[in-house]
Structure 1
Amino acid sequence: MKILVVDDHAVVREGASRLLATLAPDEIAEAETPEEGFRRFVEMRPDVTVLDINLRGGSGLDLLRRIRGEDAGARVVIFSMYSDVVYANSARRAGAIGYVSKSASSDDLLTAVRLASAGQSFVDEELAAMLDSDMRPDQDPFQSLARREIEVLRLLGDGLGLNEISEQLGIAYKTVANTCTRIKEKLGLERTGDLIRYAVENRHNRLSERNLDM
């Protein structure tokens, strides 16, 4: 078995690699950025890729889609700080075979990778309980958006660019960009153009109705 670990935190990446080494794989490789991760994937063709959602220089879910576009049979386990049904479902839609939160036990990650290598899915116990109790097929991911995310969406719908939103809200440009990435992941949108179109189409109804004092 060959395993690729993609995470932009060296301590997490190295710790995950040491843990996964107990499975006695033939090879373990590491990558820090989406570009490096994709390059290593193409070179290595791992049996399982362990992938974080937040990466330096891009979104792990975008990398997941790119990997699946390169190899529809690729088996990817998301290993994320987000223990949230919204992110888990976004990952599933993007083609992940497993989802493990970083607050889960080390055994969960080992189990997820072992099952993924056999073509079987896995979700850690805490998240599985939330999926069973909280997530319904008709649940609207819009309702999961936080106050800041709604503010950014409204301004996008008003035609403002990221620099203008940064100035108006008094926050860093990078914060605005990261917020847009989170919104896309929660809503299951792939491109920034899709996000802007969503904001424009909803600015006079859903976005104007949503109470920011929640």
Structure 2
Amino acid sequence: MRVLIVDDHPIIVSGCAAMLAGEGDIEARDAGDAETALTLFVEWRPDVAVVDINLPGASGFELTRRMLRHDEEARIVIFSMNDDPIFAARAIEAGARGYVTKNDDPFLLLHAVREVAAGGMFLMPKLANRLAFDKTSALANPLAELSSRELEILRLLGKGSSMTEIADAVHVSYKTIANTCSLLKRKLGARTPMDLVRIAIEQRLA
């Protein structure tokens, strides 16, 4: 089985690669950004891609969409520091087939990779339960009503990207980004672009 690891943290990459290599039947390669990852994905055709959300440039959500445009059967597991069920829901909406957090048992990632490679889907039980039953928490979270694209734009704002840079990163027009920022301000009760930056940082997007 071929597994592509997409993460810009060398320690995470080396740990994942060592764990997967220990299985004997898995070959792993890695990429540190969305552009390199997409090139390798197209050329190498991995069975599963393990993708972090917070990547340089385009996020894991955007990379997931781009991979699926090249191969609608792409099998992608999001591997993130964020254990908020909203992010798991947005990952599945973007087309990922699994979501695992980095602060849990690392062998859950191996379980997810094998489950997704076999054609299934994988969510950690606690996340699945929170998605199914924790409606009150979801409604209280200011990010609950945002789409994965809106989350991506908010994340890039939090990282200090200009609207022109964001438009380039997510492959849409400047006008689309400007309109989305206006919509984000209404949804999040923000008055200024700096308010959006503050919210992104407070919500651990940046």
After TM superposition, the score normalised by the length of structure 2 is 0.72
- Correspondences of 1:1-214 after superposition (within 5 Å): 1-135=1-135, 143-144=142-143, 175-177=159-161, 191=172, 193-201=175-183, 207=189
Q: For the pair shown, which has the larger CA radius of gyration, 1 or 2?
A: 1
Percent identical pairs in the alignment equals: 35
SS at match of 2:114: helix
CA, structure 1 residues 85+74, in 2 after alignment: closer, same or farther (shift >3 Å)?
same
**Aligned equivalents of 2:139, 2:87: Cα separation in 1:** 13
Amino acid at match of 1:200: S
Q: CA RMSD in A?
A: 3.4
**Structure 1 contact 86–141 (Cα < 8 Å) conserved:** no
In the other structure, the counterpart of 2:201 is none
Query: Structure 2 CA distance, aligned partners of 1:190 and 1:130?
Result: 33
In structure 2, C-alpha distance between the alignment counterparts of 1:113 and 1:208, rounded to whole Å = 39
> What runs of 5+ residues in structure 1 fail to find an aligned partner?
146-152, 154-161, 163-172, 182-188
Q: Deviations over 1:21-70 (max 9, x none)?
A: 23323521111111110111011100000000001232111111000000
Q: 1:24 to 1:207 in 2, by over 3 A?
A: same
Instruction: Tell me, yes or no, if the aligned pair for 1:64 and 1:95 is still in contact at 8 Å.
Output: yes
Contact 1:6/1:32, CA 8 A, preserved across alignment: yes
Contact persistence 1:48–1:75 (CA under 8 A): yes
The answer as to whether partners of 1:75 and 1:117 remain within 8 angstroms in 2 is: yes
Shift of 1:113: 0.3
Distance 2:184 2:111 in 1: 42
Q: Partner of 1:23: helix, strand, or coil?
A: coil
Answer whether contact 1:85 1:135 (CA < 8 A) is retained: no
TM-score (ref. length: structure 1): 0.69
1:131: how far off?
1.2
Closer, same or farther in 2 for the Cα pair 1:141/1:41, shift >3 Å? farther
Q: 1:143 to 1:38 in 2, by over 3 A?
A: same
